[in-house]
Structure 1
Amino acid sequence: MVTHPLIDFRTTSYGGRSFFAMQPIAPGIQLLTCEAPFAHVIYKDYRREVCAQCFAYAASVFRSINDRRTWSIRSCREGAESVWFCTDNCRIVWESGGIGPLLAEMNAILAKSQIATRKKAKDGLRGYDSPDTIFPGRPDVQITQGYIDKAWAEAEDLASSRPRLSSYCSTMNLEDMELEIARSVTSAIVQRYVFDHRPTNFSPSMIATLDPWTAVLDLQSSELSNVQLRPYVLLAHLRVHAFLCHSLPKHLRQYVPIVRALLARDTGNSFGIWDGDDRDEMLGWGVWVSASYFNHSCCPNLKMTRTGRTMRFTTSRPIEAGEELCISYIDINQSMAQRRRELEDSWFFTCRCQRCQSEGVDEAYQH
C-alpha cells in the first residue's frame, strides 16, 4: 500500500489499524487515492444504466434530456454478458484489460447456471442433499465461531464431491441477491486469476506492491458479528460458495477457497457505489481495500469522492499532528441514537467519537 508522506499507518486499541496525521495538514489536501475496487458488483436493475468502466450513471447525465436512462454503447461478445458504456473510450479501456472481458464471460456463466438450478428446483428434482438439511440454519442455535467453522467445514466437504455438489445445487433456488453476492466474489476471483497469470517480467518488488489479495486478508473480519446479528447470512454465504464451486469453470474453481475470507470482510469494508454526491440511489457496492482502513467519525476530517472507479480522500478541515484521519460511514445529520443504531447494525460497533461522547454527556445532563 502506497500512502501520502504526511500520514502514518498505526494499530489502534479500538478499531484495528488506521491512518493518522504525522504533522499538521491543511484543508483540501488529497491524502489517499484508490484506483479501483478489488471486488464489486452493479445491481441487475442498473446494469444498462451504469457504465461498466467508469460507473457513470445515465439517469444522472441525461436527467434533462427526454428522460433517457440507458447507455447505447455496448460490448457483446459470444459467450459473454452484454456490457454497456458511456463512451467508446470507456469501452476500449474495458476491452483492452484482461479483467473486464473475462468477468463478462463468468457473469454469463453464473446467470445461465442460476436459471438452470431454478428450473431444476421448480421441476421438483431432488437429490440426496437438501439445502435445508445439509447446512445449519436454525435461528434458535447459539452462534459461535465454532458453529460457523463447522458449517464451512461441511461446505468444503460438500464441494469436494462433484456428485454431491451437483445434487445439492439441483435443489437450490438461488435468490437474486445471492447471485449479486456471487458476482461480487467472482470479480475478486477474476482479479486473483489475472494477477497470478501476469507477465513473467514483473520484478519481486512490483509483485509485492501490486498484490491486492494480501491487503484484503489484512482487513478486519466481521464474520462472527455479522452472523450473530443476521443468522440467515451464514446460509446465504454457504449457498453462494456451493453455487460458485458448481458453476465456475475448472481453471477458476481453484480460487473458491477465497470466498469465505472475502465474505467475512465484505460487510464491514465495502463502500456503496452511489449515483453522485447526493447519494440518492445506490447502484451497487465495492471493496476499495486501502480505503477500508479509515475509521468512522460523526465529525469526520476527510471527504470521500469517487471519480470513475477511483476513490479519493481529501482533508475537509485543518488536521493536527497525531490526529486520526476519519471518514463518515453514514448520514451524520441524524440524531446520536439513529447514528449509533445504524453503525451497530451495519458495522458492528458503538460509536464513541468526540461528537457522540459530547452529545451523550449533553443528553445525560438533560435527563
Structure 2
Amino acid sequence: MTWPLIDLRTTPHGGRSLFAFQPIAQGTKIFACEVPFAHVIYKDYRREVCAQCFAYAASTSRSIGDSRTWSIRSCRATAETVWFCTDECKVTWESGAIGPLIADVNALLGKAKIATRRNSARDGYDPILPNGPTAQITQDYIDKAWTDVEDLASSRTRLSAYCLTMNLEDMELEISRSVASAIVQRYVFDHRLASPVVSSIISALDPWTEALDLQSSELSNVSVRPYILAAHLRVYAFLCHSLPKHLRLYVPTARHILARDTGNAFGIWDGDSRDEMLGWGLWAGASYFNHSCCPNVKKTRVGRAMHFTTSRSVEIDEELCISYIDTDQTITQRRRDLEDSWFFKCRCQRCQSEELGEASPH
C-alpha cells in the first residue's frame, strides 16, 4: 500500500513502520489520526478536561484567567455528567452517537464500582487470580487464566456472586472505562448509528480491524508486571457483569484491546509542556510509527486528533520515527524506560553511536 508521501512496510526490526515514499520537507504534515479508538480521562481531571476536544481548563486559565473547571456541562438523566470548554464543543458532542453512549456506560460503571466497594471482601482473597506458581509466566499460563475467567463469566449466578465481593481498584475502573469506550465504538460502527470516522489518513480499515492489526504485548506486559494479569481479569469480569446486554456481547473482545493498549496507547497531556497526564488514548493508526531517540517526526495532539509533522527534511526511503520518551536522558535511562514500557531495547542510530562511545576508552 502506498500514499502520496508515506509508505507502510514490514521491517526486520520493528514490525510494520512508515517510510518516506519521496523526499519530504521539514514541517510537512504527513499523517493524522482524527479520533481515538479508545480513551479515558482520569477521574480527578474530568471537570477540567473538555469531553469533546480534551482542552484543559488549568492550562487555559494561565492565559485568560478562567477558573480551573469548565462551567458548560451535559447532565442527561441516564448519563455521567461531562464538561465542555465551549457551547460548540457541547453541541458537537451531543450530536454524535459515541460520546453520549460512553457517558451512559460510564455512569453504569461508576454505580457498579460503588456497589463492589460497598460489598468487597475484607480478607484480600480474590478467587479470580490464577492458581499455582507464577514464577514463570508463559503464554499457556495466561491463556489458562483467561479461560478460567471466561468460564466464570459464562454463569450469571457465579459472576454476580464474584462481582459483589470484588475489590475493584480505582485504576481498574479507569481501564474498564477505556475498554468500554472501544466497545461502544464497535457497537456504533456495527449498527451504523453514525457515519464511520476514518481514524487515519492512510487506512481504509474500519476502526476495530485497525485496532486488532496492532501488535499484541500481552506476554511481554504480564512478564514485566505479573500483577496486571489479575487486574485485566477483574476488568473483564466487571464489564461482563456491569454493561447492558447489548454491549455485553462485545466484552469477549476486551482481551484483545487490553493486549494492545500497553505499547500502543498515547498519554493525553495538558499541552506541549507535558506537565500533567490527563488520561490516555489508543489512536490505532498512530502506532505505525516506530521509536527513535533521534526522531524525524513530531507528534502533536490537536483536539481529539493526533497530527504528525516532519521535524527535519527526510530523504526517500527513510524510516519515519517519533520519540516515545524524553530523549534528553542518558542512553541507559532511555533504554530502561523503553524496555519497561515498550518491551524492546532501542538500537536506533543514536543509541548505537552512544553505545560505541561509552564502550570505547576516552
Question: 2:181 matched to 1:182?
Answer: no
The equivalent position to 1:218 in structure 2, one of 213, 219, 231, is: 213
1:280–1:261 Cα change, 3 Å = same
The equivalent position to 2:340 in structure 1, one of 341, 345, 357, is: 345
The one-letter code sitting in structure 1 at the alignment partner of 2:139 is Q
Structure 1 residues 295-319: Cα deviation after superposition (integer angstroms, max 9, x where no partner): 0000000011111001100011111
Which residue pairs with 1:136 in the alignment? Answer: 130
Structure 1 distance, partners of 2:306, 2:37, is 12
Question: 2:165 matched to 1:166?
Answer: no
Structure 2 distance, partners of 1:34, 1:199, is 21
Task: Give how far 1:137 is off.
Answer: 6.8
Task: Give how far 1:133 is off.
Answer: 3.1
Q: SS of 1:133's equivalent?
A: coil
Which residues in structure 2 correspond to 1:239-254 (within 5 Å)?
A: 239-254=234-249
Question: 2:293 matched to 1:293?
Answer: no
Are 2:126 and 2:166, in contact at CA under 8 Å, matched by a contact in 1? Answer: no
Which residue pairs with 1:55 in the alignment? Answer: 54
Which residue pairs with 1:108 in the alignment? Answer: 107
Task: Give how far 1:4 is off.
Answer: 4.3
Counting matched residue pairs gives 356
Percent identity for Structure 1 against Structure 2:
72
Which residue pairs with 2:74 in the alignment? Answer: 75
Question: 2:320 matched to 1:325?
Answer: yes
Structure 2 distance, partners of 1:272, 1:137, is 34
Which residue pairs with 1:232 in the alignment? Answer: 227
Which residue pairs with 2:200 in the alignment? Answer: none
Question: 2:34 matched to 1:35?
Answer: yes
Task: Give how far 1:279 is off.
Answer: 0.6
Q: TM-score, normalised by structure 1?
A: 0.93
The one-letter code sitting in structure 2 at the alignment partner of 1:255 is Y
Task: Give how far 1:63 is off.
Answer: 1.9
Deviant stretches of 4+, over 6 Å: none
Are 2:60 and 2:66, in contact at CA under 8 Å, matched by a contact in 1? Answer: no
Structure 1 distance, partners of 2:298, 2:87, is 31
Unaligned residue ranges in structure 1 (runs of 5+) = 203-207
Q: SS of 1:79's equivalent?
A: coil
Are 1:21 and 1:323, in contact at CA under 8 Å, matched by a contact in 2? Answer: yes
Q: TM-score, normalised by structure 2?
A: 0.94
Give the root-mean-square deviation of aligned CA atoms.
2.0
Question: 2:147 matched to 1:148?
Answer: no
The one-letter code sitting in structure 2 at the alignment partner of 1:134 is I
